[in-house]
Amino acid sequence: MPDGISLVVLAKIYNYHLKKRVYGPDLMLEFLKKADFKGYSNFFYGSAKEVLNLLIKNFKIKFPSLNIVGVYSPPFRELTVDEDREIVDMINRASPDVLWVSLGCSKQQLWMYEHKDKLNVPVMVGVGAAFDFLSGVKPQAPRWMRDNGFEWLFRLFTEPKRLWRRYLINGPLFVYFVAQELVCNFLKNKLSLRNEIPG
């Protein structure tokens, strides 16, 4: 999912037709509305125990018949081989239709990739800080900021210690590499056109 305005802008540059970003918390709420009605089972993996408790409490109010088959808050350190195996077994026993993963970027993407062949789960969705936002533990950026590509600024001001590297170093690096690729592609196209012209 293009959860980030930079991916939407990049898609437009490369002529992919993405209308807008897919905001993790919005996607989650929209799906859970349908899951509440259709009976899809859900497992929530990530964040802290207190956050998960508040999240499930909120969901039980919002979606009274939501089928929750498991929640788990992993320790904030690297898992041992045995711990990892136990977590995989626990999720597989619960057999959810959807596994929601909230470990933060890029930890959750790596975790899902490393476990895709171990977990018997049809769908895994990485939702970043959605558990924190939907539990009410962290504030969300105003809608106008989220819709116009300024959520990063709000998040940087609310969590500078944790996010400064992502937005002040990784962000500009991303722009640099994209610009480098665009320039290289432009030069390649120009050279190939020149070589095609006879004489």
User: Which residue segment(s) compose the domain that 177 sits in?
Assistant: 162-199
Q: What is the pLDDT of residue 39?
A: 83
Residues 35/42, Cβ–Cβ less than 8 Å: yes
173 and 191 fall within a common domain: yes
Sheet of 123-126: strand order equals: 67-72, 41-46, 98-102, 123-126
Q: What is the pLDDT of residue 170?
A: 82
99 and 170 fall within a common domain: no
> Residue 114's domain is classified under what CATH number?
3.40.50
Series of mean pLDDT values for 10-residue runs along the chain (199 residues): 78 81 86 84 93 94 92 88 93 95 86 93 90 90 84 84 81 87 84 65
52 and 139 fall within a common domain: yes
Q: How many residues does the chain have?
A: 199
80 and 139 fall within a common domain: yes
CB atoms within 10 A of CB 31: 16
Q: What b/e string do you get for 121-138 counting C-beta neighbours within 10 Å, with b at 16 or more?
A: beebbbbbbbbbbbbeee
172 and 193 fall within a common domain: yes
126 and 43 fall within a common domain: yes
| Structural domain total, the chain | 2
137 and 189 fall within a common domain: no
What does pTM read for this prediction? 0.80
Q: Is the bond preceding residue 106 a cis peptide, omega within 30 degrees? A: yes
Residues 31/12, Cβ–Cβ less than 8 Å: no
98 and 182 fall within a common domain: no
Token pair, residue 92, equals 């597989």
Q: What is the pLDDT of residue 171?
A: 82
Residues 140/146, Cβ–Cβ less than 8 Å: yes
133 and 152 fall within a common domain: yes
Q: What is the pLDDT of residue 193?
A: 66
Q: What is the pLDDT of residue 122?
A: 93
Q: What is the pLDDT of residue 186?
A: 80
117 and 183 fall within a common domain: no
